[in-house]
Amino acid sequence: MTAPIDVTALRADFPALDNKVNGRPLIYLDNAATTQTPRVVVEAEVDASYNRRANVHRGVHSLSQEATAAMEATRRRVKEFIGADSTDEIIFTRGTTEAINLVASSYGSLLKAGDEVILTTMEHHSNIVPWQLLQQRSGIVIKVVPIDADGSLDLDEYRRLFSERTRLVSVCHVSNVLGTVNPITEMAAEAHRHGALICVDGAQAVSHLKVDVKALGADFYAFSSHKMYGPAGVGILYGRRELLEAMPPYQGGGEMIGHVSFQGSTWADLPYKFEAGTPDYIGAAALASAIDYMEAVGMDNIAAYEHALLDYAMEQMRTIDGIRFFGTAPGKAAVISFLLGSAHHYDTGILLDQLGVAVRTGHHCAQPLMEAYGIEGTVRASFALYNTREEIDIFIAALRRVAAMLS
């Protein structure tokens, strides 16, 4: 059962939505890039800055202990939010990019030349390039799952790609361009049947659907705070404890050590082994408020509301002559990539901005996906829990004007 969202009340929590752009009310449809933050999150950041600004895990003094407690409270909150077994499995990073680099670098160092990693055509560059860097260092082999015309993964081909050398699958939970929600549980089961692991890029999933890493069967799960109404510069890597225990540190420095001498060093226990240097403890502390905010609305309610917005927008957009959609897989998330006739995505984006509508244009850090479609880029509208049908009406009217101007 889902409950309706009181979007008018919610919008009052997001001061950024009252802004004007080019003299018009801002219609913010670039949520897949970054979501706006509610007042409670900004207040949590301000409160931590004023009252708990001290280096974490280092001081005997009270302020440091309070700062540490706030960051560790978020670690516990994240553990519950994604259904992990232990806070030892929750590592703070700078974002999804750093989380995947950590896996590719640390777990990757255990791989040998000829070992295989399976990626998919729809991956963001941050789930491609770290593996290519590993390929250059160690000679691993990268295999790629193709997509069907609607932007679903070709699961038959996925199954065929496994061999006795397959060590890991790394795949996005939700595509940032197509909105496709990949069948992670099924893909994880297949990987595990072959003795391989699965690393999931959850950057576009955690704020749109309920994530349970154990139900999914994810061995690693990465996401970014700034795409889930939280502060920028903070991310999370979930990793199964026994995997993290067997992996070497990612970076060396303060706080990740047990003991250091010039004869050699030992490492701290989990999760600190992977957290070298002073983290963004202010942002990390405030991330808990973003999770509280989403859960107060309800993840299932958010998903139902955003799907209704998506259906409404798609229905209206389909009536625009010459529009082409990229990503129409069943059950997709509220991300719409499109092109207006032969108009350049950039021109469409600039004109929409003149009319107050913020969308993203370009390759969306997914150039191999663009290549698969034979295009350079798309226009992308992506929704969040505070968007409304009225905003979609304004967006569609703006789109019609732009289509007329560019035709």
CB of 96 to ligand C6P, least distance (A): 4
- Residue 170 interacting with ligand C6P (CB under 6 A): no
CA–CA distance, 242 with 124 (Å, rounded to integer): 27
213 within 8 A of 221, measured Cβ to Cβ: yes
Spatial CA neighbour of 96 closest among 183, 192, 207, 180: 207
The per-residue DSSP string of 246-291 comes to HSPPSS-STTSEEEEETTEEEEPPTTGGG--S---HHHHHHHHHHH
Residue 280 touching ligand C6P (CB under 6 A): no
**Judging by beta carbons within 10 Å of its beta carbon (0-12, 13-18, 19+), is residue 159 exposed, middle or buried?**
middle
Contact partners, residue 260, CB within 8 Å, separation at least 6: none
94-102, 236-244, 285-293, 399-407 -> range binding ligand C6P (CB under 6 A): 94-102
Minimum CB distance to ligand C6P smaller for 176 or for 348: 176
Q: For residues 305 and 4, what is the distance between their CA atoms, to the nearest angstrom?
A: 7
Catalytic residue among 365, 372, 375, 406: 365
106 binds ligand C6P (CB under 6 A): no
Based on the shown chain and the rule CB under 6 A, indicate whether residue 129 belongs to the binding site for ligand C6P. Answer: no
Closest distance between ligand C6P and the C-beta of residue 226, in Å?
Answer: 6
Identify whether the C-beta of residue 151 lies closer than 8 Å to the C-beta of residue 332. yes
d(Cα 381, Cα 338) in Å, to the nearest integer? 9
Q: Is 176 in the site for ligand C6P (CB under 6 A)?
A: yes
Residue 224 binds to ligand C6P (criterion: CB under 6 A): yes
Closer of 5 and 329 to ligand C6P (Cβ): 329
Looking only at residues 9 through 38 of this chain, which bind ligand C6P when binding is defined by CB under 6 A?
Answer: 32-33
Closest distance between ligand C6P and the C-beta of residue 8, in Å? 27
Say if residues 303 and 210 touch (Cβ distance below 8 Å). Answer: yes
CB-wise, 78 or 203, nearer to ligand C6P?
Answer: 203
Separation of alpha carbons 178 and 157, rounded Å: 19
The alpha carbon of residue 259 and the mean position of all alpha carbons in its chain are separated, in whole angstroms, by: 35
The structure tokens 């992977």 sit at 274
Least separation in angstroms between residue 290's CB and ligand C6P is: 14
CA dihedral 81, 85, 86, 88 (to 10 degrees): -100
- Catalytic: 365? yes
Tell me which H or E stretch contains 390.
helix 389-406
N residues, the chain: 407
Between residues 177 and 197, which has the closer beta carbon with respect to ligand C6P?
Answer: 177
Among 31, 37, 96, 337, contact with ligand C6P (rule: CB under 6 A): 96
Between residues 36 and 126, which has the closer beta carbon with respect to ligand C6P? 126
CB of 91 to ligand C6P, least distance (A): 14
Binding region for ligand C6P (CB under 6 A) out of 39-47, 71-79, 90-98, 340-348: 90-98
Whose Cβ is closer to ligand C6P: residue 45's or residue 123's? Answer: 123
Q: Give the residue, chosen from 364, 370, 383, 391, that forms a contact with ligand C6P under the rule CB under 6 A.
A: 364
Contact set with ligand C6P (CB under 6 A): 32-33, 95-97, 124, 126-127, 172, 176, 201, 203-204, 224, 360, 364-365
Just list the catalytic residues.
Answer: 365
